[in-house]
Amino acid sequence: MSHTYIADDLTQLIRSFRFDAHPMSILIATFAAMSAYAPEANPALQGRDLYTRDSGAMDKQIIRILGKATTVAAMAYRIRIGRPFNYPRSDLTYTENMLYMLDVFPYLLQVLIIASF
């Protein structure tokens, strides 16, 4: 679950949005800013055939984006409702982390944790 964490600068970017900002605006801005954190995966810097000659780089980017998507979505939701962020936990699965960060149904998270044993 190492790809669920986002940089503090990105957290500050998300915090800079107003509470009534559309969540998709927050997602787009955050994902655009994330491109600055992986210059080795930027086709403008590495050549336009980066992903056709090196499928490993593309796979790595897909994993990064999917891992961070739940964190950014949960932070956008929590900005909207005016609550502080819940940061991802490394001891939870992908789905459990999403539920934990949203803080929507804490009792459902307990059911999932108990059911996984």
Work out the pLDDT band at 2, boundaries 50, 70, 90.
low
8 within a domain of the structure (yes/no) = yes
Work out the pLDDT band at 46, boundaries 50, 70, 90.
low
What is the reported pLDDT for 41?
65
Q: Which tokens hold the place of 24?
A: 């998709």
Whole domain around residue 29: which residue ranges?
2-85
Domain count, the chain: 1
Q: Say which residue, 85 or 105, is predicted with more confidence.
A: 85
Q: Are 4 and 72 in contact (CB under 8 A)?
A: no
Taking the C-alpha atoms of residue 43 and residue 47, their distance in angstroms, rounded to an integer, is 5
| pTM of the full structure | 0.77
91 within a domain of the structure (yes/no) = no
106 within a domain of the structure (yes/no) = no
Taking the C-alpha atoms of residue 16 and residue 112, their distance in angstroms, rounded to an integer, is 33
Q: Who contacts 71 (Cβ-Cβ below 8 Å, separation ≥6)?
A: 4, 5, 6, 87, 88, 101
72 within a domain of the structure (yes/no) = yes
105 within a domain of the structure (yes/no) = no
| Total Cβ atoms within 10 A of residue 70 | 19
